[in-house]
């Protein structure tokens, strides 16, 4: 118990000397960079609609795939990590942030080989997302199927 009290006393003593985080500036940077990523995505979607005559619905998947590809390339070049340090959550929340995480994990362990290094470590991160996504899609599909039988 004495150790906990000493720890609390120390935290209170150093509180005045710690710099205050610039919350407003951090929020502004996240908003601007996240908005910029979304604006690029909208531009890509408009490109697919205009050039390839996709419908708005059909242009969604190639747009997401293009954003993932761009994020992976920028991660490989070291640009997306710098963007992430600057923007914080603004670059982590969109689909590009997930692609960045997967690519970073793959690049970090590439010296261990393609299967045991890249694939294994890349899917450690994505495994839970993929599993829960597949399970959720299965459950929703079953519910929809049963609903269709009932009506």
Nearest to 109 by CA among 118, 100, 120: 118
Looking at per-residue pLDDT, the higher value among 116 and 10 belongs to: 10
Query: Which tokens is 23 given?
Result: 């919350």
Q: Which residue is associated with the tokens 């720890």?
A: 7
CA dist 121 and 111 (Å) reads 12
Question: Which pLDDT score is estimated for 48?
Answer: 97
Residue 94: DSSP 8-state: S
Question: Which pLDDT score is estimated for 142?
Answer: 94
Residues 37 and 94 sit within 8 Å (Cβ to Cβ): yes
Looking at per-residue pLDDT, the higher value among 137 and 130 belongs to: 137
């Amino acid at each position: 118990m004495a150790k906990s009290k000493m720890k609390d006393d120390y935290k209170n003593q150093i509180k005045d000397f710690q710099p205050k985080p610039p919350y407003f500036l951090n929020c502004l940077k996240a908003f601007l960079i996240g908005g910029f990523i979304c604006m690029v995505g909208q531009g890509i979607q408009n490109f697919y609609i205009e050039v390839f005559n996709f419908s708005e619905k059909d242009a969604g998947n190639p747009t997401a795939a293009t954003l993932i590809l761009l994020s992976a390339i920028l991660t490989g070049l070291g640009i997306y990590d710098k963007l992430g340090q600057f923007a914080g959550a603004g670059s982590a929340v969109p689909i590009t942030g997930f692609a960045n995480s997967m690519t970073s994990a793959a690049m970090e362990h590439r010296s261990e080989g393609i299967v045991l290094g890249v694939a294994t470590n890349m899917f450690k991160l994505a495994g839970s997302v993929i599993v829960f996504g597949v399970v959720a899609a299965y459950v929703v599909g079953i519910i929809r199927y049963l609903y269709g039988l009932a009506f």
